[in-house]
Amino acid sequence: MKRQDIIDKLCEEEYLQKEEWIELLDGYAESDREYAARKAREISGLYFGRQVYIRGLIEFSSYCRNNCYYCGLRRDNEKAQRYRLTEEEILACCEKGYRLGFRTFVLQSGEDGWYTDDRMAAVIRRIKAQYPDCALTLSIGEKEEDAYRKFYEAGADRYLLRHETADVRHYGMLHPPQMSLAHRKECLRVLKAIGYQTGCGFMVGSPGQTARTLAEDMMFIRELHPHMIGIGPFLPHKDTPFGKKERGSYELTLFLLSLLRIMEKNVLLPSTTALGTIAPEGREAGILAGANVVMPNLSPVSVREKYSLYDHKICTGDEAAERIDSLRGRIERIGYKIVSARGDWKERR
- Minimum CB separation of residue 63 from ligand SF4 in Å reads 9
Q: Contact, 235 vs 312, CB < 8 A?
A: yes
Q: Among 71, 107, 136, 291, which residue interacts with ligand SF4 (rule: CB under 6 A)?
A: 71
Q: Contact, 39 vs 262, CB < 8 A?
A: yes
Q: Round to whole Å and give the CA distance between 297 and 273.
A: 9
Name the DSSP class of 164.
B
Beta bridge partners, 293, equal: 53, 270
Contact between 229 and ligand 5AD (CB under 6 A)? no
Nearest of 183, 194, 186 to residue 159 by alpha carbon: 194
Footprint (CB under 6 A) of ligand 5AD, residues 68-87? 70-71
Q: Contact, 37 vs 252, CB < 8 A?
A: no
- Minimum CB separation of residue 239 from ligand 5AD in Å reads 11
Question: Which region, judged by CB under 6 A, interacts with ligand SF4, from 65-73, 91-99, 184-192, 271-279?
Answer: 65-73
- Residue 141 backbone class (left: φ over 0; alpha: ψ -120 to 50; beta: rest): left
Question: Which region, judged by CB under 6 A, interacts with ligand 5AD, from 12-20, 32-40, 233-241, 293-301?
Answer: 233-241
Q: Round to whole Å and give the CA distance between 349 and 332.
A: 27
Contact between 111 and ligand SF4 (CB under 6 A)? yes
Contact between 199 and ligand 5AD (CB under 6 A)? no
Nearest CB to ligand SF4, comparing residues 155 and 236: 236
Q: Among 35, 196, 255, 310, which residue interacts with ligand 5AD (rule: CB under 6 A)?
A: 310
Contact between 237 and ligand 5AD (CB under 6 A)? yes
Nearest CB to ligand SF4, comparing residues 73 and 262: 73
Q: Round to whole Å and give the CA distance between 260 and 214.
A: 12
Contact between 191 and ligand 5AD (CB under 6 A)? no
